Amino acid sequence: MKKATPRTNIKEFDKAVKESQKAQYILRLYVAGTTARSVQAVMNVKRICEEHLKGRYDLEVIDIYQQPVLARGEQIIAVPTLIKKLPEPLKKFIGDMSDNERILVGLDLIPKR
């Protein structure tokens, strides 16, 4: 999964990569304790970050049980929730982050088809 899926236009992919290469990513992942779903989400996000944003991301995993006030401030209803705070615009993802392509598109790491 390191490379773009065959269906993606290589040129566009390169362009997107170049653009996003400059930006620093600030990501917050809200999970609920150590449920299977939470663990899965943490693993998925970490993998994506390592594969696409190596060296230029700041990922913080927050347990809503321990930080309910923080969760309230971010209007966390569903968990797991991944929030891309930077670069703009703010994006939210919910789920166990198993849909790789959707996350990559959402993080502007691959162009929207």
Partner 1 sequence: MSPKRKSAHRMSLEPLRKLPTGIQGFDEITMGGLPEGRISLITGGPGSGKTLFSAEFVVHGAMDYGEPGLFVTFEETVEELEKNVITLGFDLHDLANHRKIVLDHIPIERSEIQETGDYDLEGLFVRLGYLIDSIGAKRVVLDTLESLFSGFSNEMILRSELRRLFRWLKVKGVTTIVTAEKGAGTLTRHGLEEYVSDCVITLDHLIHDNIATRRLRVVKYRGSQHGTNEYPFMIGDEGISVLPITSLGLKYEVSTERISTGLSKLDDMLGGKGLHKGSSVLVSGTAGTGKSSFVANFAESVAARGDRCLYLAFEESENQIVRNMSSIGLDLNKWIKRGLLQFHNVRPTLYGLEMHLVKIHDLVIRAKPQAVIFDPISNLVSVGTSTEVKSMLTRLIDYLKMMNITTYFTNLIVSAELLEATEVGVSSLMDTWIVLRAAEFGGECNRQVHIVKSRGMSHSNQLREFQITDNGIHLLDVYKGRGSVLTGSARAMQEAHDESEGLNKRQHDERRIRDTERNRKILEAQIAALQAQLAGETEELRQYADQEQLRERERLVTPSQSEAGKPAGARKKPARR
Residues at the site binding partner 1, with contacts judged by CB under 8 A: 30, 32, 37, 41, 64-65, 68-69, 71-72, 75-81, 90-99, 102-103, 106
The smaller minimum CB distance to partner 1, of residues 16 and 80, is found at: 80
The smaller minimum CB distance to partner 1, of residues 22 and 69, is found at: 69
Q: Which residues pair with 63 in a beta bridge?
A: 31
Reading phi first (left if > 0) and then psi (alpha if -120 to 50, else beta), residue 3 is in beta
Q: How far apart are the first and last CA of the chain?
A: 17
The smaller minimum CB distance to partner 1, of residues 15 and 102, is found at: 102
